[in-house]
A and B are shown apart, each in its own frame.
Chain A
């Protein structure tokens, strides 16, 4: 299995490492482990992993700073792992270039889904205008057409931009800041409240049950995600 994807786990807690190792190995991934940020950075450079799982609470260096340093030279997808209640750290890591996050405790199913999404996005050739399709929704990014259950949905420009940004990163979380930049331009401040209002309208147009969304998922305190499976 030489082409099995290589996953770098940077995590100081041995039991968590053991659990991740067992789970990933069982699903055909190859694994490299690091217990510290220093060693993790060296491994990332030396082994060239396809995905990095990064715990934010490392003993020697702040995970956010590590993400920033990684992003200086690497595009390898980074999935950060952190406890509940530390939403600000997650947002900071995502804004620093991490691709996704997992909240402890998480299930193996969730972990594998995130890794799959990360790998898929890394493999996508940029520049194309793919068509996103999940459940009843299709978003044709090239033609800018959105249909729900086969019927074309009428969206405002903001709603479309919001949906398109999520569809382009389908399955991945986008922070409020990232979404604000994509909709209103890189120089606008984070418009959390506006995003919420537009998201609410979008849900009413696209979701069967807006109060119990299946596609447009809120990541509390972090941002939004378009579920793609």
Chain B
């Protein structure tokens, strides 16, 4: 496998910058047949470019030994070919990577429809050209009309030669310029005679038919028409870009109904031409009927293939399901404002087809205003899957025999009671039972057996197969007819059930994924869910590759990078690097690649099965959309947090600078007056000194709060719990606040039986101090401040109440936010940290804090202190110290 290109080395060189470069220009030299001189014309054009100073490089040019062509090549630099070993022979192919690395101004690449040697990056040369254009290189290439995908079958009809190498029409549309190279049939035939036209040996006989004058003229016409259509389109574009308006015909919409046969590919191409001609939107429609599930796997795949072909040719595709195909098509067409329906002409011969209303008849009958176009197709009825798809159990035949035996036994037993008709009915019941339980064939077997047994046992002459009364033959016929109808009916019901189940399974798989995605909390979980579902549906290993922080992929996986940058599938089962052991799917949402999913199936055939791949694509697509949404949400949230943090920072800075500077200014001012030397009166001096003291205390409190806040935020708050009476803590707070509380009567209501609480006395004291100070701050002078506590289940509730203005409605929770102040009036002082600190300390004790307004006015702040465990035992009573010391 030395010839296998190392995809990583290849792809690593396709740098991201190449993709960003402006797209290169493609010029096609288009001809009706080999030998018209496309290569020669291309080389002439290239020579002209070279003289203009363009860096022209020959990628691949086949001279086929023609000297005039070879002469034109002489002065042009030629890119060395790349050798690929394939099955013992060495193939020389175009070296895409060397061309990308060399970056010529213009690259010549003959024969656009060429198929690359196996093991090349792309299957087709036109894919190489696509990549070159993407990398910003200008390309000249040549193409014959028979290689154009949508004309391929027309050419085959004209010439009788089917060309396998085709180029999608989109590539033609991609070309910036198409130059028609044309010669008269006489000249071409002359050249052929002179041996100037290259004909591969193995195709020489076929080509004899090809190069007939009539054929050549037909091909010329095709080529001319193709070029003319293009000129037309260019003209229209030009007029539109110049603001020349036209009256447009009412918008046409074409739907082409396709089936699981090669004939449908012709339909698709015909529809494409029609749509182009009419400037119409077109849709390829596939109806998944009961019959679909009876198709062989190949035909099912062919149906998907036809849909894909339509997609490649620019159609939208849709799959609907239903049994009555004509009705479904018409209903869909009406719902989607379709004006024309393209269907194939049914060629299914035979009396049955003639008897039954064909799809076409039904369509025409129900079409109303919709035009129906019928295209002739090749005769081939779809291959039905052999019924082996649902294997027949031998037990089913046993059942048939058993049921008939039972019916015979019952009939014989009650022979005297039953008429012959009753016995016939008994047999029919048996056949219906078999039909309901087993498949069609056992039911038919049962019916034949029934007739035989009936004839043998109950039709005179008895115990022979001879029939005495010929009317019994009619009975037999009717029995058989009823059995067939019943068997078909039950068979159809079963099919419907199976179809529903298959659809249900697919829907369930997609639904299960979407449910998991909905439950996912972030992008990682979405991707994990997707990988899990892929693994469940396909035995495979799944890797999700996301671009790293630098936006690049790990060097070792160049395929992933290629897929990410091009947003196209690659690897196993695709046309790009099919030799890779894994399939790479891009995670694309809104045209942005988010990452790449690498699926390495244990059975490589899984990647090639179009139905399974469709499910895989559904999974990846679903995940990509969800991922994009999750990433967007994450980004939004992050922005929100940033905005919040920023607002907080601004608020902190302005609060701090204000709250620190104000007292400092007062202190400095007062002190400088005292220093000034002019001796102010004693009262004034006292007042100044008082200002200094008061402002210093304010700053002390502020700094203490800031320090507490920092400790809380840093998680450095250490709660040292000790069992103690709450009363003592309240007492400490009141003693410390004695001065501040002057003018406010303080009432404490602590029940004497209040249990000990496990708290950090210093911290809870801080909570009480902050709450009491807060009350003093907002309460009018001389109004009371009340402190109360009560024991609840498992906790003590402490409250600090005032008769201030209360809390504005709706602010009950916001007041605990950092830097939140009840009023903008800053005479009350403080940065708005006090309550936040209280809440933090209470939370660290496992309690909670809230605020509410009191009925008679004012606010009350409450917090809980949970009681967990029991206090340690007390030491024994001390020795009595003396006679008079009490009785206790």
On A, residues with C-beta under 8 Å from B are 84-85, 87, 105, 107, 143-145, 153-161, 164, 183-184, 188, 191-194, 196-197, 199-200, 203-204, 209-213, 217-218, 220-221
- A107 x B756 contact (CB < 8 A): no
Complex CA gap A107/B728 in Å reads 24
B885 touches A155 (CB 8 A): yes
What class of interface size applies to chain B in its complex with A? Answer: 35 or more
A-binding segment of B478-486, B512-520, B867-875: B867-875
Q: How far is the CB of A146 from chain B (nearest CB, A)?
A: 8
Q: B696: nearest residue on chain A (CB-CB)?
A: A105
- CB of A113 to closest CB in B, whole Å: 14
**A160–B732 touching, CB < 8 Å:** no
Asked if B734 contacts A212 (CB within 8 A), the reply is: yes
Q: Which residues of B contact A211 (CB under 8 A)?
A: 727, 730-731, 734, 748, 750, 787
Q: How far is the CB of A222 from chain B (nearest CB, A)?
A: 10
Q: Kindly list 17 other residue pairs between chains A and B, CB separation below 8 angstroms, not including A155-B885, A155-B886.
A: A144-B882, A144-B884, A153-B886, A154-B886, A157-B877, A157-B879, A160-B886, A183-B878, A193-B874, A194-B874, A196-B728, A203-B731, A211-B731, A212-B731, A217-B735, A220-B732, A220-B762
Is the Cβ of A156 less than 8 Å from the Cβ of B888? yes
A9 to B697, CA, bound (A): 24
B878 close to A200 (CB less than 8 A):
no
Bound form: Cα–Cα A200–B728 in Å = 7
Return 10 A-B CB contacts under 8 Å, by A number: A153-B886, A157-B878, A158-B878, A160-B881, A160-B882, A203-B731, A211-B730, A211-B750, A220-B761, A221-B762
Closest 7 pairs between A and B when the two form their complex, measured CB to CB: A156-B888, A154-B886, A211-B748, A158-B878, A144-B882, A160-B885, A157-B880
Q: Give min CB distance, B506 to chain A, whole Å.
A: 68
Within the complex, the shortest CB–CB distance from A112 to chain B, in Å, comes to 15
CA–CA, A33 to B68, complex, Å? Answer: 114
Q: Considering residues B696, B732, B877, B878, which has the most beta carbons from chain A within 10 angstroms of its beta carbon?
A: B878
Contact B885 A203 (CB under 8 A): no
Given contacts A217-B735, A220-B762, contact A143 B877 (CB under 8 A): no
Does the CB pair B883–A184 fall under 8 Å?
Answer: no
Contact for B875 among A105, A184, A209, A210, CB less than 8 A: A184
A141: nearest residue on chain B (CB-CB)? B882
B389 within 8 A of A: no
Are B765 and A220 in contact (CB-based, < 8 A)?
Answer: yes
| A155 contacts across to B, CB distance below 8 A | 885-886, 888
Instruction: Determine which of A143, A197, A203, A218 lies in contact with B732 in the assembled complex, contact meaning CB atoms within 8 Å.
Output: A218
A-B pairs with beta carbons under 8 A, tally: 102
Q: Is the CB of A154 within 8 A of B888?
A: yes
Tell me, in angstroms, the Cα distance from A191 to B693 when the chains sit together: 38
Complex contacts, A194 vs chain B, CB 8 Å: 874-875
Contact of B887 with A193 in the complex, beta carbons under 8 Å? no
Known A193-B872, A211-B787, A218-B732; contact A200-B727, beta-carbon cutoff 8 A: yes
Q: Tell me whether B722 is interfacial, beta carbon within 8 Å.
A: yes
Question: Nearest Cβ distance between residue A196 and chain B, in whole angstroms?
Answer: 5
A43 to B724, CA, bound (A): 43
**Is A154 in contact with B704, judged by CB distance below 8 angstroms?**
no
Residues of A within 8 A of B722 (CB): 192-193
CB-contact partner of A218 in B728, B746, B752, under 8 A = B728
The proximity string for B residues 296-320 relative to A, scoring 1 for CB distances below 8 Å and 0 otherwise, is 0000000000000000000000000
B888–A157 CB distance below 8 A: yes
Distance A79 CA – B830 CA, assembled complex (angstroms)? 32
In the complex, which residue of chain A has the Cβ closest to the Cβ of B739?
Answer: A107
A193 close to B724 (CB less than 8 A): yes
A213 — nearest CB in chain B belongs to which residue? B731
